[in-house]
Structure 1
Amino acid sequence: MAYDLLIQSISKHVTLSEDDIAVLKSFLKEKKVKKKHFLFLEGDMQQQVSFVSSGCLRSYAIDKNGNEHIIQFAPAGWWIGDMRSVLYDEPATLNVEAIEDSEIVWISQHDKEQLYEKIPALERYFRILAERALATFQQRLIDALSLTAAERYSNFCKRYPSLIQSMPQKYIASYIGVTPEFFSKMLSQPMKRK
């Protein structure tokens, strides 16, 4: 069932009773997203966060020159959304697209706030995730400013080992901040070992 992986994820950080799980499930909604279809687009009002039960999604922004900049990959077991849109009730600045056929479990921000009242352990769970996400994005920013493309690719391989073979190279190039042509050339050269 689509909820099993989410319950496992939550259980890594907090303990929920069977009653808590039943209440949580009553607030969740399921959705299937076909490969190359969008969960939402830039400009949409985005009031939900989504947990990937199966498949993989990506979030990205498009700059004024039409170039895509991938912000996040979300394989099974990861959350994805446009948090600025969710928290500030503003149009989304990100696009979220399924890279492969995917199933998600989603919850609106309003329902999530209600769940915090009913199941305080969930507020702790989402706080832990938010702190880890902030630390990860800070490190990614530091890496973008201080590491070579080869080093950023190495970090990508460590962070997303299950995606290396299945991910189109143009997506990996976008994530590490290089053109597909540069990325292809970089891969054709032997990697230097430290």
Structure 2
Amino acid sequence: MTHDRILQNVAKHIRLDEVEEERFVSLLGFREVPKKAFLLKEGQLCRSISYVHSGALRAYYMDKEGKDATIMFAISDWWITDMFCFVSECPAMMNVEAIEDSCVFQLSRDKRDGLFREIPKFERFFRILMQNAYTREQLRVMENLSLPAENRYDNFLQKYPRIAEQVTQKQIASYLGITPEFLSMIRKNKSRRPRS
């Protein structure tokens, strides 16, 4: 398995020399996650952050009634973890499941912390990842509070066209906080409208 893609991801934010690249990749674990298998289950200790080399994953939690709510999707070239639990070293609050056969590179918390000491510029890389994730989630919460479901769906399609192609309508509905039936109604109404 080549590390080119993950190194290109890192290179978007920091420059590494060849020795630093080799050190970084030496710390990564590789894992294949078949469709419907779990990368992380609620209650497990969350010890790693994962880079999606290929495939697609979904992070979700189950409420007391057994209904799931999608927190995020991750497709190739994205990072995923239960961030609160990864940072706090506590059991996971959500599940991370492969929605298609996937391959991930994983970096454990301990190895990440060692990387910060050895190559301090990685602190900048992970800070940028966290800032981007926080910004994305803040905007999502604001949209959920202020926009009708149809607008949220349109925004989802516009922002994440690759994800929309890889996940089910039920999973999109769960992410948007609406029922699959309501999403189906939105989609039918959109298809009936004349195109301008």
Give yes or no for TM over 0.5: yes
Structure 2 unaligned blocks of 5 or more: none
Amino acid in structure 1 at the alignment position of 2:31: K
Amino acid in structure 2 at the alignment position of 1:27: L
- Post-superposition offset of 1:159: 2.2
Secondary structure of the residue aligned to 1:90 is coil
Listed one character per residue, the Cα deviations across residues 78-130 of structure 1 (whole Å, up to 9, x for unaligned) are 01001121111211001000010000000111110100111111111111111
Listed one character per residue, the Cα deviations across residues 147-185 of structure 1 (whole Å, up to 9, x for unaligned) are 111111112112211122332110000011100111111
| Aligned residue number for residue 73 of structure 2 | 73
| Aligned residue number for residue 151 of structure 1 | 151
Question: In 2, Cα distance between the equivalents of 1:75 and 1:159?
Answer: 13
Listed one character per residue, the Cα deviations across residues 39-98 of structure 1 (whole Å, up to 9, x for unaligned) are 011111111100000000010011111111100000001010011211112110010000
Which 4+ stretches in 1 moved above 3 angstroms? none
User: CA RMSD of the aligned region, Å?
Assistant: 1.4
Contact preservation (8 Å) 1:150, 1:186? yes
Amino acid in structure 2 at the alignment position of 1:106: Q
Contact preservation (8 Å) 2:73, 2:163? no
1:141 aligns with 2:141: yes
| Aligned residue number for residue 96 of structure 1 | 96
Listed one character per residue, the Cα deviations across residues 23-43 of structure 1 (whole Å, up to 9, x for unaligned) are 001110000000010001111
| Aligned residue number for residue 169 of structure 2 | 169
Question: In 1, Cα distance between the equivalents of 2:115 and 2:165?
Answer: 38
- Post-superposition offset of 1:2: 4.3
Mean Cα deviation higher: 36-45 or 164-173: 164-173
1:85 aligns with 2:76: no
Contact preservation (8 Å) 1:58, 1:70? yes
Question: In 1, Cα distance between the equivalents of 2:52 and 2:165?
Answer: 20
Equivalent residues in 2 for 1:1-194 (5 A)? 1-190=1-190
Question: In 2, Cα distance between the equivalents of 1:108 and 1:165?
Answer: 30
Structure 1 unaligned blocks of 5 or more: none
Contact preservation (8 Å) 2:48, 2:109? yes
Question: In 2, Cα distance between the equivalents of 1:43 and 1:59?
Answer: 14
Closer, same or farther in 2 for the Cα pair 1:2/1:140, shift >3 Å?
A: farther
Question: In 2, Cα distance between the equivalents of 1:25 and 1:187?
Answer: 44
Contact preservation (8 Å) 1:2, 1:105? no
Question: In 2, Cα distance between the equivalents of 1:94 and 1:23?
Answer: 31
The count of residues paired between Structure 1 and Structure 2 equals: 193
Output the TM-score relative to the length of structure 1: 0.96
Contact preservation (8 Å) 2:42, 2:92? yes
State the identity %: 41
Question: In 1, Cα distance between the equivalents of 2:189 and 2:35?
Answer: 32
Output the TM-score relative to the length of structure 2: 0.95
